Amino acid sequence: MILTDTHTHLYSKDFDKDRKEVLQRALELGITRFFIPAIDSAHTKAMYELEEDFPKNIFLMMGLHPTSVKENYEEELEHVREQFEKRDFYGVGETGIDLFWDKSLLKQQQAAFKYQIQLAKRKKLPVIIHCRDAFDEVFEVLQSEMDDELFGIFHCFTGDHAQAKTAISYNMKLGIGGVVTFKNGGLDKFLEEIPLKNIVLETDSPYLAPTPYRGKRNESSYLKMIAGKVSEIYRLDLEEIAAITTNNSRDIFKV
């Protein structure tokens, strides 16, 4: 059984004391593929070091996280562009719009999001979308950029059934993480109505740990609990969920 964590920040400082042990716990459970989204230039070195330590299991992406979009966002996007000139990546992101913390930089977030979508389309790579308190705003940008080249993952999907169908209509797969295990998360109410071909699994570690670890540090080994909950919802064996979602990740990342 091979499980794929399509979104994990294993380079985070939260793992500085036990990163190898965290990876080993996941590997022992059959979680062998870890897709690593970027945040901003301050984290690039740590991402490269992670890849160097675990070259067979780590797949890096490059982008600018919406909460890192500040007045200097064009400089940060230039850093993203420079990294793509130096090497290949498996996706662009994470990007998107986050209005939970700060609504004053919406225009800058929209501009950075559009830039990264266009970069992904030029590179024929998936775009990895972060959306918090911003479904309408994200969908507006996606609508403006919609064409045959657009595809990716709506990371950490927390919307309702209608929003799920809209995301899928933009050629996005839904990244299902710890929220699916939350008592009032809402995903369990409609998820089985979404064809499994449209779903990938993720942890977003060290954030959003599943029940019973909610509120604590998340790690990639907990992906098996997320997969277990998804298997309950779809009434399929865990092995089948692992196989389908890993194949879906291969369709997205081409590896």
Q: Is the pTM of this model over 0.95?
A: yes
Question: What would the pLDDT profile of 225-245 be if each residue is shown by its tens digit?
Answer: 999 999 999 999 999 999 999
Q: How many domains does the chain have?
A: 1
Question: What would the pLDDT profile of 39-82 be if each residue is shown by its tens digit?
Answer: 999 999 999 999 999 999 999 999 999 999 999 999 999 999 99
Which backbone phi and psi does 102 adopt, to 5 degrees?
-155, 120
What tokens were used for 200?
Answer: 């990938």
Question: What would the pLDDT profile of 147-158 be if each residue is shown by its tens digit?
Answer: 999 999 999 999
CATH number of the domain to which 145 belongs: 3.20.20.140
Question: What would the pLDDT profile of 159-218 be if each residue is shown by its tens digit?
Answer: 999 999 999 999 999 999 999 999 999 999 999 999 999 999 999 999 999 999 999 999
**With the C-alpha atoms ordered 51, 54, 60, 66, is the resulting torsion angle positive or negative?**
negative
pLDDT of 71 reads 94
In the numeric block, the tokens 């809209």 are attached to 166
**With the C-alpha atoms ordered 235, 240, 241, 242, is the resulting torsion angle positive or negative?**
positive
Query: Which amino acid would we find at residue 18?
Result: D
Which structural domain, as residue segments, surrounds residue 42?
A: 3-253
Give CA–CA dist 43/13, Å, rounded.
10
Torsion of CA 79, 80, 83, 87, to 10 degrees: -170
**With the C-alpha atoms ordered 69, 72, 74, 78, is the resulting torsion angle positive or negative?**
negative
